[in-house]
Structure 1
């Protein structure tokens, strides 16, 4: 058997395992048979920037007799800057933390202003490259397999973009302008002709094409909350029209810090979201199978702010095919959240929560018991379990400043707190393991009781730290079951290796009593 006579299924499998388009290109150089097979894998995702060369490349690919049938996704890159009229207007709009940190460094302010002027000029030149929008729209429509559209910021290392002088200069200035802990040192605006993350107005051609092609997957990485405020625009209409065909939608919303005080900006954003425009927007996509809504609102003093769940998810059954839900920076009310989960329990199998705050139910009186995380997690045990639950970041309680770090590592058998909860809440293998263990011990102990006990211990009463890194989690019951199960599984990466990162706090398990949460770096210093 020669290379050219290998079965097509084998060659397809090889191509699917290749890491990059350069690997695919090298594969195609082996022989004609490899060249023909590898062609459909050469360019599944196309990256487009607002430059003349990039638009011309899009048009050329759309006219290629073979490639145009194999492009399944387009990522549109864009950087957007508010075109302030003068230095004073620009400085007033700079986010508050930079004003406080830079103080009276006049020379540095002036240098940033000069870079900013160049950014605005380069941005205008880049947007002109979009040219007649009909050309872009027609090019997209010729991509017969287009199924995925992503709108992202222009931090791209693609070779063909690095040779474009306008784009290269724009990115160079941008990297000079991004200072102070990597946070963006420029304000956003949804009202400008050129801005409003992700710059929705220059994207009308892509959105029109998306509607006609019935694109099924949309990811918008940075969208201003102001998009859901006020007047209706043509761009909004195009975007809403495309929702009826979507199967997957991902939105990352950011807040425009226009005011001098962060709390004022948070109040404005909450007012916008309380109008239910975001919920109505999501509900306009009735066929969604995957939803992700993330909020990037960072308060430099208080950390992440949280969006009320009532402004994001409805309580009623809305998406009959929903399989996956991911939400970040949400203020969860247990009753609302569980109503949503219960109404979708026949289809919902994958869930990811990150940096969430647990709040008391506003409909209950002051005498009602305070909310605890077991109020959320325990019902997930007694209902139909999820196939996968991902818990990342910090999970807080509104009335206390307690913080459960889901990135903590159980040192002696390498499992995170988030992983442990995922096992206790939704692992069918853990259920089977417990059934055997409980049956062997006899008595009235049940699988549900063990799982509830583990959840209560890990999330019920977190002691407030007396100093940095000295929080404590009490694991009083059933930790031996969890430890035994994990040791039997071995070092299996399927239990969410994505939670691990260096320098996190660690939990030291003790099957006889408590487990202390500590920072390993502090131990090294002692």
Structure 2
């Protein structure tokens, strides 16, 4: 019978590579002991693999702050600990409009046991449908009119869209049914003051609210603000900076594409919205860090009317580090009304505008805004402006610098200052700005008038006193009106610097900016020879393509501005379906 041969003695290198259990006796106790020893040695040789749970909470919070909302929701589903951390970043900022769907979503969020405590910022868009409501015939006419304007504009740009056929009447009627539904819901809210009630209810639960923004007439949508103080995410489709928060956000009115000129209530722009949210903040006793509001009709500041306003807030605005305010001093004018008005109608509209500006001017002389700003000692960002002053007379300004700024006051932390639509003197402006030179990093002047003094003296003074080459930005836009100070040159000064958010900055504005920031530029860029008056072209004019600033901004954005509003593109309104939050 065949027997297996005895194995030869294996070489030492083979023995050393054999598993330990093959080199030891095979008793059960010995085997178990050796397995434990092997496991211990193995654990000593290889470090433990880290998981998310091993990271410090601070790092996890930092990671969440950079995640999109969809990823934050997935992150929260991992386990209880990560769920609690993710909840802090699920809804730091909410964008909403005066609309039933949006208010229902706010209530849903406020009823959640975790989310309200971590809401840091509320952005209230003032877009509403104009009243009275259009009937079907008027709505169809509005649609066809807008389609013709689009076709004409696209034809000038040789776009394929110029040949797009009009919408079928059936689609227009379907759009009208949506328009009617939204308008009826809007009337129900305003007639019953539901906006005041709901905001009081939800804001009272947002105990860590720090920032409030009220945006009317596209303010803060085209670059008016810098980055958010907490690096928040904007669920309307923004890119993470405040200036884009509303620019890309879809609204409840998007399906009504024939009505692109949505804005606040005529003659009361932003007043109802700002009043409602401030009342809610006051009721909750919340001390804000940031407040931005614009356009706000000047009547909001009239304490004599007896309505709730800034004067009713007590000390709740004392801790503000950011205050941005843009006031509308006169009635807003519908471009269509201007286009079809005859000489008598135009004259009447001009009288109405001038009358309101004078009334605004009288109210500002009382120092109602100056007193407000005086009570904000911690300001880091301050922006105060007046927009759309009388076009018929460039020398009627609704407020002076001393009306809105305490010129003898120092804000030790002031980093950014923007002034717009004000008149002052060279000495007043220089003294106030230079007093803040140790902290000031950004300065912007827009549509300013020096009443009896010269810009050609102001610019060299500011550059010398501020050491502007050490600052981040110094810029002048819009109108720069002044008066020559030399004995032989006491004549009007007038330069137009453009607008980087509408037409684009002029070459002269760029030279002024370089003059401040580049020490090698020695000559003041403003002179009698390069003075240029404000152009008469209106942004809404159908001849906009002939404007000298054509092409400075992208054509698609210019097209939307011509049509009366920006096209808010993004991933959708976060309030479309409240259940998606949970």
- TM-score range with shorter-chain normalisation? 0.5 to 0.7
Q: How far apart are residue 335 of structure 1 and its match?
A: 0.5
Tell me how far 1:200 sits from its aligned partner.
4.0
1:242 to 316, 323, 345: 316
Report what 1:150 is aligned to.
Answer: 213
Q: Does 1:454 align with 2:526?
A: no
1:498-519 Cα offsets, whole Å, 9 max, x none, are: xxx98449xxxxxxxxxxxxxx
- Structure 1: runs of 5 or more not aligned: 88-114, 160-166, 362-369, 425-450, 469-500, 506-526
State the shift of 1:53 in Å.
4.1
User: For residue 72 of structure 2, what is the aligned residue in structure 1?
Assistant: 24
Q: Deviations over 1:277-335 (max 9, x none)?
A: 22122223343332111322165677897543232223212534433222223334211
- Of residues 377, 386, 403, the one that matches 2:496 is 403
1:463 corresponds to which of 506, 518, 530: 530
Q: Which has the higher contact order (CA 8 A, sep 6+)?
A: 2
Instruction: Report the equivalent of 2:458.
Output: 375
| Structure with a larger share of its residues in strand | 1
The answer for the alignment partner of 2:446 in structure 1 is 355
**By how many angstroms is 1:48 displaced?**
3.6
Whole-angstrom distance in 1 between the partners of 2:426 and 2:534: 30
For 1:423, the equivalent position in structure 2 comes to 517
Write the mapping of 1:104-503 to structure 2, written as runs, cut at 5 A.
121-127=184-190, 131=194, 133=196, 136-153=199-216, 158=236, 168=252, 176-178=258-260, 188-190=266-268, 197-203=271-277, 205-209=279-283, 212-229=285-302, 231-236=304-309, 237-239=311-313, 241-257=315-331, 260-261=349-350, 262-297=353-388, 306=397, 307-346=399-438, 348-361=439-452, 370-383=453-466, 385=468, 387-398=471-482, 399-404=492-497, 416-424=510-518, 451=519, 454=521, 456-464=523-531, 503=551
1:204, 1:238 within 8 Å by CA — same for their partners in 2? no
Partner of 2:31: none
In the TM superposition, residue 40 of structure 1 has moved relative to its aligned partner by 1.5
Distance in 2 of aligned mates of 1:284 and 1:253: 19
CA gap 1:265/1:50 in 2 versus in 1, 3 angstroms: closer
C-alpha distance in structure 1 between counterparts of 2:79 and 2:316, whole Å? 42
Task: Give the direction of change, closer, same or farther, for the CA distance of 1:29–1:332 in structure 2 (3 Å limit).
Answer: farther
Task: Find out whether 1:14 has 2:63 as its counterpart.
Answer: yes
> Normalising to structure 1: TM-score of the pair?
0.60
Q: Write the deviation string for residues 147-172 of structure 1: whole angstroms up to 9, x where unpaired.
A: 1112224989959xxxxxxx83x665
Maintained 8 Å contact 2:124/2:215: yes
For structure 2, the 5+ residue unaligned runs are: 1-48, 136-177, 219-233, 238-250, 333-347, 483-491, 536-548, 554-582
In 1, Cα distance between equivalents of 2:198 and 2:191: 13
The alignment status of 1:43 with 2:88, answered yes or no, reads no
Structure 1 CA distance for aligned equivalents of residues 512 and 77 of structure 2: 46
Query: How many residues are paired up?
Result: 390
Change beyond 3 A, Cα 1:176–1:241: farther
Partner of 2:124: 76
* CA drift at 1:351: 2.7
